[in-house]
Chains A and B, each alone.
Chain A
Amino acid sequence: MRSAEGGVWGGSACRPHGDLDGCRLDGRPADADAVAGAPGRATGPFAVARVDERGHLRLVRDPIGHRSLYWARLPGGGLAYSTRMSDLLARGVPREVDPIGVATFLSTAYVPGERTLVAGVRAVPPGVELVFATPGADPVHHPFWQLPPAPAVAPTDEALRLGLRGLLETVVREMLPEGPVGASLSGGIDSSLVVALAHRLRAAPVAFSITFGPPHRDELAWSGLVARHCGVRHEVITVTPDDVRAGLDPTVAALSEPNGDPLTVPNDRMFAAARDRGIGVLLNGEGGDPCFGGPKNAPMLLSELYGGGSLEQAYLRAHQKLWDELDAALHADARAAVPEGALEALVSPWFADPRWPAFLDRLLAINVAWKGSSHILPKVEHLGGRHDVAARSPLFDRRVVDFAFGIPARLKRSGPTEKHLLKQAVRDLLPAEIVDRPKSGMMVPVEAWFSSPPLEGWARERILDGLTPWRLVDRAWAERLLDRRAGGLRPRRGVKIWLLLTLESWLRTVLRGP
């Protein structure tokens, strides 16, 4: 397991240190020292701490959030920081839950921004250097990178297409290791283009795909088509209910914060499979939707068109977790600690940001900032780290994100076609059926899993006996959910149960962990 990088700062000097992966500065490999001196020019994932010539502690995190970095003040004095929450807690940070963090997690399945689930612990924002004059001082935020504004004049469509293609090739080439490489392959356009590019640029990557076994639907027909087209080895990993029961705790324990995406255990199995085959780098297609205009943006477009509600609430609702029943789901104690409008206030600034005149671009911006840096990237970072496999996300590379925000909105979503320019840029690499297929997404069979043994009873026990005593979730509400008495048009019982199980596991294995 990749070890955490952290420390306790009492005011004395320390050399730059941190967690970096393949960082470059001006095209040359860079270490923590170099990156700390010029974070705005560095590419690649990094989280670095150093004390500068004035004796100030500086914590800096890469622009998109490929690496995590947390800090908190210690009760006896000093400031602790670490790339992993469990390490921070082990250094003496009080183990108290933040109810607003819990409310946010239940609404979105992650905790965006600087707040975390642990009271007093804050995340360093991506693209920001935090400067502490003393261990007791409030940090000064020095942003060294921001999502770029919409261009006043964009290049021609053809120039954009060629530019994107060239950039993707550059980024993927830089991410390929000397040794064997793997790639997660769902059969969607994003992961498929990464596999195709990797294959075209170097020796064939091993493509890993997930299935859940019959009778559950999967995407193997599509991923198999891509693997055959590219001529790469295709490994299929089957994830069963027994894998979930055995794998949830170690998976969650590896994460700094709980991640309510049911794909966490399957992803963990994938990293384990890569490690078992001697693969040290696993590429993925994460980032295609938030950067290039994926279909998950459609509900927000509809909401804005039809009106009749607040944009902030629509965005929270669009996560399809517990937002609409948060009042009922939270325990009275937790509810009382969450001010009215607290979650909406986190969303508002993004939809009012004048950098992006197009509504779609504002939506993509919050998705990159929230879902990218607080949800997807920490997940692959930590799960890969658990197995000593470097997770690399070309579509979330800083240069690709910069480029994506220079693309006019009409080339992201053109008519009914999402990710239009991305598809045009890689059309020659993949079969037309893959480029033009409707988006379906990886459907984890949580509804079926939690409707029958062995997971139904297991989930019940964990939630009622393990989670409700924390007085964060209302027991009566949880019982109604588990007993299928929750009602509503789309109860999403399985998704909600997964969310609660993840929270329970995290509280036990991380917050109360060693």
Chain B
Amino acid sequence: MKCSHCGVDSTKKEREDGKCKACHRPFAFDPQKGDTITDFAFAAAVNRVSMDGTVKFLPTHVLARLEQSRDRARRGRRQTSALVVGGIALAIGIAALVVNLALLAVALALGAVSVLLAGLAALSGRETVDERTFAAWWQRWVQTHGVPKGAVVLDDAARNRPAPAAALAEEVLDYSFDRAVVCDRDDIAELLLANDFHFENNCAVLSANGHPRHAFPTVLKMLRNNPRIEVFALHDCTPAGCALAHTLRERPEWFQGIGSVYDVGLRPGQAGPWHARSVVRTVPPSPALTEAERAWLSSHELSLDVVPPEQLIKRLFRSMNRLPEVADAGGGDAGGFTMIGTTSDGGGDAFG
């Protein structure tokens, strides 16, 4: 089993003390002892979602990455098996034509098996990791190796940051910003803040639930001061998420009659590239949803976690910088996860 730190392979005997034979760092997992994950695979998932430590991420991004990797690996194994069996069938078939036509039956049978395997690969359900299992993995990893660099964990410290100084809080009420992102989840808002999205894009970031608590009241007041505020709703593909833009637009405590609200979240129409989770629920009619969306959400949901954090942030940036005004036609919000190209330049400082 490969060490996630030094990459050296240790046999079971060589790691009887639970440590790498080369660098002597402990392993968090050991398949020989029943774990269905290895340190190497876990570390690879962390490296991938963090872009080798350059992007902050949520633990749920690691979960999504592990599921996608396992899913891909399982499909790959089945496709490989199908190819091998198909290849054998072809070889026997050719031999049958030359040697003995009776072999043709064998070839046909093997061909059918190959097709069956290929079909299973294509139609098999998604590889999932139980959330409780992942939570245990995460805990074990943290205990063994520490919190992965760049992990954004919405703990008590993050939720209970001190409020801005009173003098500043009073001063900034004279100011506002041009844009804001409102998320349906606190942890997505925290992810954006941890990646300095607000800082890089001159925009406020809030969650619909009032995160970050210490700045929320002040920031919301500032935003509502701007009659031309542009608000971008970023959300999961869930009934509550898909209703976010509508809520922000229609509720007086949000932006009713103020500025413009754009939906840049995941809607059923954009769920195609990913495996949605199956659910069973009743979704009542809503002006925020089309009938088709209601039907889809009655049996599916999709989390933003399926999008790696780097992609999420880049897509959000592109959407915010190109989206045209979208009118609410009363039958659900249009817009959503756009993939608009940009050729934005670094540019120089422009003073004056």
A interface with B by C-beta (< 8 Å): 109, 186, 188, 190-191, 215-217, 261-263, 284-290, 295-296, 298-299, 301-308, 314, 317-318, 320, 357-360, 371, 375-376, 395, 409-410, 413-416, 438, 441-448, 487-490, 492-495, 498
Contacts and interface: CB of A to CB of B under 8 A. Distances in A.
B202 A441 contact: no
B55 interface: yes
Interface string B284-328: 000000000000000000000000001001100000000000000
A490 B351 contact: no
A448 B350 CA distance: 18
A290 B351 CA distance: 8
Interface of B: 51-52, 54-55, 161-162, 164, 167-168, 171-172, 174-178, 193, 195-196, 198-200, 202-205, 212, 214-215, 218-219, 225-226, 228-229, 310, 313-314, 343-352
Nearest to B225: A415
Ranked 5 nearest A-B pairs via Cβ: A441-B350, A495-B346, A262-B348, A285-B352, A190-B352
Contacts of A488: 51, 54-55
A357 B165 CA distance: 12
Given A262-B348, A446-B345, A302 B171 contact: no
Contact of B349 (A186, A263, A299): A263
Q: Is the interface of B mostly helix, strand, loop or mixed?
A: loop
A286 B215 contact: no
A306 B193 contact: yes
A105 B177 CA distance: 30
A495 B164 contact: no
B168 A307 contact: no
Given A305-B218, A395-B352, A488-B51, A413 B174 contact: yes
Contact of A493 (B164, B205, B346, B351): B346
Contact of A186 (B164, B167, B215, B352): B352
Contacts of A444: 345-348
Given A186-B350, A305-B215, A489 B310 contact: yes
Nearest to B349: A261
27 contacts: A186-B350, A215-B343, A288-B352, A289-B352, A306-B205, A359-B168, A360-B175, A371-B351, A375-B349, A395-B352, A410-B174, A413-B174, A414-B174, A415-B175, A415-B226, A416-B178, A441-B349, A442-B350, A443-B344, A447-B343, A447-B346, A487-B51, A487-B52, A487-B54, A488-B54, A488-B55, A490-B200
Nearest to B346: A495
B350 A188 contact: yes
Nearest to B53: A487
A489 B193 contact: no
A447 B345 contact: yes
Contact of B198 (A190, A263, A302, A489): A302
Contacts, number: 155
B195 A442 contact: no
B176 A494 contact: no
B182 to A, nearest CB: 15
B199 A299 contact: yes
Given A287-B352, A305-B215, A395-B352, A492 B199 contact: no
Nearest to A497: B346
Nearest to B313: A489
A302 B54 contact: no
Given A299-B202, A415-B176, A444-B345, A305 B219 contact: yes
A190 B310 CA distance: 36
B171 A358 contact: yes
A484 to B, nearest CB: 13
A289 B350 CA distance: 9
Contacts of B203: 302
Nearest to A357: B167
Contact of A286 (B164, B178, B225, B352): B352
Contacts of B177: 298, 302, 416
B156 to A, nearest CB: 15
Given A442-B347, A444-B348, A446-B346, A314 B175 contact: no
Contacts of B195: 489
Contact of A305 (B164, B310, B348, B350): B164
B348 A261 contact: yes
Contacts of A371: 349, 351
B193 A308 contact: yes
Contacts of B351: 286-290, 371, 376
Nearest to B226: A416
A467 to B, nearest CB: 19
A495 B350 CA distance: 13
A442 B345 CA distance: 10
A415 B225 CA distance: 6
A306 B310 contact: no
A35 B63 CA distance: 70
Contacts of A317: 196, 199
B52 A448 contact: no
Given A216-B345, A299-B202, A415 B174 contact: yes
A302 B349 CA distance: 19
A487 to B, nearest CB: 4
A263 B215 contact: no
Nearest to A411: B174
Nearest to A438: B178
B225 A298 contact: no
Contacts of A290: 351
B348 A442 contact: yes
A301 B172 contact: yes
Contacts of B218: 305
Contacts of B349: 109, 261, 263, 296, 371, 375, 441
A159 B105 CA distance: 101
Given A307-B214, A416-B226, A489-B55, A302 B346 contact: no
B168 A492 contact: no
Nearest to A318: B199
Contacts of B344: 443, 447
Contact of B350 (A109, A263, A314): A263
B174 A304 contact: no
Contact of A445 (B52, B219, B345): B345
B277 to A, nearest CB: 28
A96 B334 CA distance: 61
A486 to B, nearest CB: 8
A503 to B, nearest CB: 15
Nearest to B52: A487
Contacts of A494: 345-346
A186 B352 CA distance: 8
Contacts of A298: 177, 202
B252 to A, nearest CB: 19
